[in-house]
Amino acid sequence: MARMNLLLPAMGEGVIEATINKWLVTEGSIIKEDDPLVEVATDKVDSEIPAPTAGTLVTIVVKEGSIAKVGDILAIIENEQVQTRENTEKVEKEVERVRETITSIKQEKNDIEVLSHDLKSRTPSGKFISPLVRSIASREGISYSDLDKTPGTGMDGRITKEDILKLIDNRKVETEAVKAPVVLKTIKKDLPPDSNVNGDEVIPMDRVRRLIADHMVMSKRTSPHVTSFIDADVTRLMNWRNANKEKFFAAEGQKLTLTPIFVDAVARALYEFPMVNITVDGTNIIKKKNINIGMATALPDGNLIVPVIKNANEKNLTGLAKAVNDLADRARNNKLKPDEITGGTFTITNFGSYNNLAGTPIINQPQAAILGTGVVRKTPAVIETPDGDMIAIRQIMILSLSYDHRVIDGALAGKFLHKVKEILENYSPDTA
């Protein structure tokens, strides 16, 4: 009887650990291959880990609420069948993925050491500061004199990672405590005399909302945002879509929404302007080889997730429609895999879904730009004809591009945005 370890798989780039939310089976359960076994949560997504083989789950190693690292054994499965070559290869591939992740983590540690190499290794009084603590102190603007005053809980009074994170948290609490009386005084001043501030409902953020909040604040702190706007006359596009959406569904079995068309237009524009398809690494610009477009998707609980269409420029309209519909459906049902929300190089967010004209979206780090699409609405517009200018009812939408002004200037952003407009305004079956 063969035994197989259920390992915590690689959960996406930058993810090294996960919390065990809920076991979906109990010890002694008979399981089939690909049955969902356990729900896990990372700082990017909640997902299920399937059974790598059929058999019996004999031991649960990591209990609910515990944290496991990539490569840790979560459970043990017994299989009465002799492992086939295919199963063996599957296990070997998973082990290789785990090894690659561990190598990546080691590289990350090396990067921290390189980053902190030029910083002093000791405080004025002689306390040793590890490379990791030096890196955190530098990033958070903590002086060496402040570190000198921090009691270390490590061996010989060494300041640990937990010590410096506690110092950072205490600073935040002290800052909020100073602000609170002023804020409360202002609120009371602005409220009518009979208002009761104690009657307000306090709603704690859930885990996903806290992650979104932290990511948004980090993005604004990282990138100097600039937003450019342009309007697009999509009358021709809307007429084509309305005339062909039923035929498209009959032929392809897919709904033809505007989203895959937007993805198609952006993918082609990024191919022509690759310096928008970039990320920033310190003082280096990384031009991404692949065009992977994320689409911001609202969830039933009010939160947001961004599944990614990989190599969008290599797909035709049918392939994009299938990808968009599949990812959106599984996002709303919490069925996305970790690698389906990572690796994006550009993001699209649709303000038009809620009849909004436009917005100024926040860049999805570490990307350098994000496109907002507004509602398509009928409006009078001046059009040029061989007989002169005239006013007609046209279907107009506003496109907004937020970009990282460290690496994308107004000229490049303007050219890219105009290219997206040009593609949408001239969209037809021939270009699909």
Please list the active-site residues.
Answer: 405, 409
How far apart are alpha carbons 148 and 150 in whole angstroms? 6
Q: Which regions of 220-330 does DSSP assign to beta strands (E)?
A: 225-233, 278-281, 284-287, 293-295, 297-298, 304-305, 308-309
Distances in Å between the Cα of 61 and the Cα atoms of 37, 100, 165 are: 13, 23, 30
Runs of H (alpha helix) within 116-155: 131-140, 144-149
- What's the burial of 42, exposed, middle or buried (CB within 10 Å: 0-12/13-18/19+)? buried
| Amino acid (1-letter code) at residue 98 | V
Distance of CA 416 to the CA centre of its chain: 23
**End-to-end Cα separation, the chain, in angstroms:** 55
Cβ partners under 8 Å of residue 320, min gap 6: 260, 263, 264, 309, 312
How far apart are alpha carbons 409 and 368 in whole angstroms? 11
